[in-house]
Amino acid sequence: MIKLLRVDERLVHGQVALAWTNSLNADCIFVVNDDVRKDKLRLTTLKMAVPAGVKFVSKSVDDAVEVLNSGKTDKYKMLIVVDSVADALKLAKGTGLVTSVNLGNMKRLEGRRQLTSSVFATDEEIGAIRELLSMGVSVGCQPVPTEASVPVETLI
């Protein structure tokens, strides 16, 4: 069961590993990212941030779609973390299991406009967000569980 799909360019770090897993009572952090699967050092670093007793899984986007559709992950209460809106959209389109997306951290870069203090997006990313919304997926900006989620449609 997907408890939360979060877009966070940092992937797994203190907020994700502790605050979100505790808040959601998640027992699995599922990092979906094509590049992480190719970088053993980064994969090892991400694993080290995961709290004891929480399962860590990392797959490419295509492999994640396959495993989510297979039902093998149904027994877990998963926090899925991607580093881009594009990957969140691919998961939503590929599985039909994504009902909401949390925009947690998308850093300030040239060409991105500010939506919140921790979320910046390009026109292309906003297009992907609009596509998620058109699919019926709710999209909100929420850096930590103790703050209220702000519906992204009020920001774009």
SS3 sequence, 89-118? HHHHHHHCCCCEEEEEEECCCCCCEECCCC
Q: Which residues are catalytic?
A: 13
In a domain, 155, yes or no: no
Kindly state whether residue 152 falls inside one of the protein's structural domains: no
Q: Tens of pLDDT along the chain (156 residues)?
A: 999 999 999 999 877 788 999 999 999 999 999 999 889 999 999 999 999 999 999 999 999 999 999 999 999 999 999 999 999 999 999 999 999 999 999 999 999 999 999 999 999 999 999 999 999 999 999 999 999 999 999 999
Q: What is the distance between the alpha carbons of residues 37 and 129, in angstroms, rounded to a whole number? A: 25
CATH of the domain at 125: 3.40.35.10
Classify residue 29: in a domain, yes or no.
Answer: yes
Is 73 contained in some domain? Answer: yes
Q: Which one-letter DSSP state was computed for residue 83?
A: S
132 within some domain: yes
Domain extent at residue 133: 2-144
Determine, yes or no, domain membership for 153: no
What's the structural domain count of the chain?
1
